[in-house]
Structure 1
């Protein structure tokens, strides 16, 4: 993949056509993992999510990607934004959105395995945006692990950090998100 990305950067027109088949299955796997966490009423399918993400990334006119991590980071962000846009659309007043809470357990905040409502996804998105302002690397780790469906080891590799750093960042991000979600809930009730 790195070689194809370099060829794209150098202007090789055939390289663009070779990129999608190379990354399609991995993107589809990531989308399927993410969609498995969504509520049963989700109308978006993994294939549609991959296709929409591909188009948002530039389709056949891909921008210059620095490396594999850059590409998959952008893909994860694109998928997250598509899901958020979908949730916002569904939450619109004409669709009758309601407020639900994100689960927490006795050990602290745990990102839910399954998002029951669009409101939960939007609440988590707002908290994640705030985390990105506070610490971009930790927010990117959450995106890679939670939204792209990577394991902690895979996310560490993509982010080019050690597994120990990823574990430490993940623990910090969970605690930080818990506090931010609580703050957002309190602000929402006022």
Structure 2
């Protein structure tokens, strides 16, 4: 994938060149599809939001950010992670409203690279916990968005957030510990 070309197209779009999007989509689609597929791996069968839907929803939201000074490919994928989180949370809220209730489920962010097998109810629980964590440490929330919702590696997350890999690792470990404790306490109440 041509990182320079993606960066140039993002900057062209930010400068008002609408045609840059026509060239950008084929370059980022496969990686965004991989991110979305990873996020949806553990969803229940019959789930009405599929990988393609999540990619398209996220992409449509991303291209509306025409005033962002894109710093490059990593910045784009970091934002894509955040947007995918928002799309999934919005979808989960809508589905939960349709069901009118339901019990919370315990979610454990274990030592594996990024957890899989998360359902929409879990995404809501994680989202609510992330909102609480954001009041304490916003950077840790961004790390979780990149790693958990975007499936980015430590190195990719570091590039997306413009921080060191060691800082990402530290924030990831701290956020996982905090979230595990928070989600465990929530399920007990």
TM over 0.5: yes
| Among candidates 67, 71, 90, match of residue 67 of structure 1 | 71
Partners of 1:65 and 1:71 lie apart in 2 by 10
Q: Distance in 2 between matches of 1:185 and 1:150?
A: 28
Match runs of 1:28-39 below 5 Å: 28-39=33-44
The 2-side partners of 1:181 and 1:111 are apart by 17
1:88 aligns with 2:90: no
- Cα deviation, residue 56, structure 1: 2.0
TM-aligned CA deviation for residue 177 of structure 1: 0.9
Match of 1:164 in 2: 166
Corresponding residue of 2:133: 131
Q: The residue matched to 1:120 in structure 2 has which SS?
A: helix
Alpha-carbon distance between aligned partners in 2 of 1:96 and 1:172, rounded to the nearest angstrom? 31
Correspondence for 2:154: 152
Cα 1:114–1:88 change in 2 (3 A) is same
Change in CA separation of 1:166 and 1:104 when aligned onto 2, cut-off 3 Å: closer
TM-score, structure 2 normalization: 0.82
Deviation at 1:99, TM superposition (A): 2.9
Higher relative contact order (CA 8 A, sep 6+): 2
Provide the rounded CA distance (Å) in 2 between the counterparts of 1:128 and 1:71. Answer: 21
C-alpha deviation, 1:96, in angstroms: 5.4
Aligned ranges 1:1-190 → 2 under 5 Å? 1-58=6-63, 62-68=66-72, 69-92=74-97, 94=99, 97-103=102-108, 112-115=115-118, 117-186=119-188, 189=189
| Equivalent-residue separation in structure 1 for 2:31 and 2:159 (angstroms) | 15
